[in-house]
Chains A and B, each alone.
Chain A
Amino acid sequence: MKFGRIEDWCRQAVSQIKYPPDRQMVHQELKAHMEDRYEAYLERGFSEKEAEAKALEAMGSAQEIAPQLAAIHRPFWGYLLSISRYVLIVMACILIVPVFQYVRNMGIRGKDYLYDPARQRDPYIQEEWNGGHRILYLEPGVEARSDGYIFRITKAAIWEWDESEGHMFHFQMDVIDNRSWVEDADIGRWFWAEDDRGNYYASFYESIPGSRYVSGNSYRTGFFTRTYEMWLSGYEGEDLQWVDLHYDRSGRDITLRIDLTGGEANE
């Protein structure tokens, strides 16, 4: 084989370089040099065998330069780059499964409303619920922004129970937060309300027993959406024109008005 010993010499010289691209590059450079030298000796009239021996002699000891080359070729960023590709692939594989499942279950914006995942039904679109009947239903669609959230009242309803003469003021609010990984799942607890008759409904945090207050539960219903099912505790069936919901957590008061005059009456 032509250049057999030269090839061996080069291989030995680069054997201690651990980073493969560098190893290959240095190998190629050394080999090109020795081939030039070899051809120069051939031109001077030496035999192939002599030319090879003289080229090797001129290069010196491969063992001697191997550790020197290895000490120089330690590219930290090169290592990091070559590893990072595999790390990224593995991470993508791990991430894709839950993301896929989440999107399949929820969609990107979330299902319209998941009232109760266990029962899979929505009380707002039924006229009868737990023995009570709905006397008012409307879709206010009012929206406001604060603290990076978008609040949207999507539905509101009033139920009445004939036997107990009890009432319930229900509404549904979507909270959209583009930074859902840092979301505050209790954002609904900051809301307080007032109605046109001067009743005050305290927020969950400031409520005292026996008073009127805003209360509710929430469910994550999409990547960027959490849906709150809320009610005004202490509501006694007054005939109301409007209810104002307030959010003033960071000092700026925003108001969402549920206008009850335009609703679809069931009675």
Chain B
Amino acid sequence: MKIEKSLLSGSTPMLVLALLKDGDKYGYEMIEELDRRSDHTFELKEGTLYPLLHALEKERFVTSYAKQTAGGRERKYYSLTSKGLEQLAYKEKEWRHFTTAVDAVLGFAVAEGNMSLAPAPATI
């Protein structure tokens, strides 16, 4: 099932931060990981990831560094900062609040662990 674009747009920064929580990644790797974790639910245009990443970097939620791969290609890795971690915690809380409220309006029983889309990211 594909999801409408506007549903996703507000939460992509949170998803990007969550992807970086269990290790530094470069852009392509993040897209792959997002695809895998979400079971191809998000059809994000890959180009839009970069303005997002650069904006997060400007706000110091992530930092970046260049690393040469075995194939000789240079990749730009992104790493979550402590400020980014705080931001993620805040966003997660906000998200839970939001979904709980939406579920309540829709008349679903709110149960712990019913996040069918994405498994909770592993904690460090």
- Contact present for B46 and A60 (CB under 8 Å): yes
Asked whether A33 and B28 contact (CB < 8 A) given A28-B74, A59-B46, A61-B45, the answer is yes
Q: How far is the CA of A37 from the CA of B30 in the complex (A)?
A: 12
Instruction: Tell me the chain A residues, 135-165 only, with Cβ under 8 Å from chain B.
Output: none
Cβ of A106: which chain B residues have Cβ within 8 Å of it? none
Who on chain B is nearest to A65 by CB?
B47
- Contact present for A59 and B45 (CB under 8 Å): yes
- Contact present for B28 and A58 (CB under 8 Å): no
**B37 touches A (CB below 8 Å):** no
Cβ of A32: which chain B residues have Cβ within 8 Å of it? 26, 28, 73-76
Name B45's contact: one of A29, A33, A37, A60 (CB within 8 Å): A60
8 A-B residue pairings within 8 Å (CB atoms): A33-B46, A33-B50, A35-B73, A37-B28, A64-B45, A69-B51, A72-B54, A72-B58
- Contact present for A29 and B47 (CB under 8 Å): no
Name A26's contact: one of B28, B50, B55, B74 (CB within 8 Å): B50
A-B interface pairs (CB < 8 A), number: 58
Cβ of B58: which chain A residues have Cβ within 8 Å of it? 72
Query: Would you give the 0/1 interface string for B24-54, flagging 1 where the beta carbon is closer than 8 Å to chain A?
Result: 0011100100000000000001111011001
Cβ of A29: which chain B residues have Cβ within 8 Å of it? 27, 50, 76
**A73 touches B (CB below 8 Å):** yes
Name B51's contact: one of A25, A33, A65 (CB within 8 Å): A65
Who on chain B is nearest to A22 by CB?
B54
Distance (Å) between the CB of B63 and the closest chain A CB?
14
Q: How many residues of B contact A (CB 8 A)?
A: 17
Given A30-B47, A33-B27, A58-B45, 16 further pairs, Cβ under 8 A: A30-B50, A32-B75, A32-B76, A36-B73, A37-B46, A59-B45, A59-B47, A60-B48, A62-B47, A65-B50, A68-B51, A69-B50, A71-B51, A72-B51, A72-B58, A73-B54
**A13 touches B (CB below 8 Å):** yes
Q: How far is the CA of A29 from the CA of B27 in the complex (A)?
A: 8
Cβ of B54: which chain A residues have Cβ within 8 Å of it? 26, 69, 72-73
Q: How far is the CA of A61 from the CA of B58 in the complex (A)?
A: 23
Cβ of B76: which chain A residues have Cβ within 8 Å of it? 25, 28-29, 32
Cβ of B50: which chain A residues have Cβ within 8 Å of it? 26, 29-30, 33, 65, 69
Cβ of B47: which chain A residues have Cβ within 8 Å of it? 13, 30, 59-62, 64-65
Q: How far is the CA of A61 from the CA of B50 in the complex (A)?
A: 13
Cβ of A61: which chain B residues have Cβ within 8 Å of it? 45, 47
